Amino acid sequence: MSTPVTTAPRSKGPGYARLRTPRRPSTVTRPRRSVLLTVLTGLILVYSLLPLGWLLINATKTPGGLFDSFGLWFAEDFALWDNIVATFTYDGGVFARWLANTLLYVVVGAGGATFLAVLGGYALAIFDFPGKRAVFAVVIGAVAVPGTALAVPTFLMFSRMGLTNTPWAVIIPSLITPFGLYLMWVFAAQAIPRELLESARIDGAGEIRSFFRISLPLLVPGTVTVLLFSMVATWNNYFLPLIMIRDPDWFPLTLGLNAWNAQAATAGGEVVFHLVITGSLITILPLIAAFLLLQRYWQSGLAAGSVKE
């Protein structure tokens, strides 16, 4: 893969470059489009989209069609709507309950995580306070600790506190995002002109007022980025709820889908692969929509975050 991509520009390179004087439009800053490079990168694009296409196509099939038809093309029956209805009505509508649980975990967990990261990142960027270096060292050190290594002791602690099998067991650990804190810190350090805060202070504004009225609006792109990434982490979380939640009524979508899939392997369990596939499609659509709709914000937020790398 590496050879063709890197040599593609060179095939036009030397002779092409020599013909040009430095004052002409540069080949580096204003390059010509390349069909070859587009096609080669297109292979990765196909790889990335193929399973999503497979999911979309197979969500339209009946259980029989799943087995009889070719995986990358539609079966004779188009059963997408029937499958959606079946997904939401199967087992007393438990899928809707899982969807609502996931929304709860995302709104409270990811929303809270973003709020804490914005406050903390702002503090690190704007204020000098006792223990700031220690805070930095501890938080960055903690990033290296595998989250799953913490899961067992967290479970034992939470079970002593009586929190397991409740939504809190999923929400509380979701409230911390060290990556979000780092991103907000870097972002706030460059997005907020200190002079503006100084003048607000001279005008008698308190720190809280300056934060909400002056700083927060400037932090929007960074905040959207952190929000989206913690949303993904919470929406897609599997390991934490797997450990913490036993009661299917509190399952998020990820646990529920896996439970449906696992039914096929248990004796006497009903095989519902068509519901697993349709449910999977319904699970990923909201996040994909959020990323597409908010592209402009999160991409500028990430780019700003990388300035200080």
Which residues, in sequence order, are CB contacts of 295 under 8 Å at separation 6+?
Answer: none
DSSP assignment of 216-239 equals: HHHTHHHHHHHHHHHHHHHHT--H
Torsion over CA of 267, 271, 275 and 281, rounded to 10 degrees? 80
Tell which residue, 42, 44, 24, 46, has the closest CA to residue 34: 42
In Å, how far are 134, 136, 149 from 143, measured between CA atoms? 14, 11, 12
Q: Which of residues 259-288 bind other proteins (CB under 8 A)?
A: 261-262, 264-265, 273, 276-277, 280, 283-284, 287-288
Contact yes or no for 210/228 (Cβ under 8 A): no
Which residue's CB is nearer to other proteins, number 37 or number 84?
A: 37
Amino acid sitting at position 22: P
* 29 part of the interface to other proteins, by CB under 8 A: yes
**Binds other proteins (CB under 8 A): choice among 108, 170, 181, 227:** 181
Q: Which of residues 129-148 bind other proteins (CB under 8 A)?
A: 129-132, 135-136, 138-139, 141-148
Q: Which of residues 203-232 bind other proteins (CB under 8 A)?
A: 205-209, 211, 232
Which residue's CB is nearer to other proteins, number 152 or number 220?
A: 152
Q: Which of residues 104-123 bind other proteins (CB under 8 A)?
A: 116-117, 119-120, 122-123
CA 171 to chain CA centroid, nearest Å: 16
**Binds other proteins (CB under 8 A): choice among 137, 156, 220, 271:** 156
Site mask for other proteins (CB under 8 A), range 60-99, x = bound: ------xx--xxx---------------------------
Number of residues that bind other proteins (CB under 8 A): 134
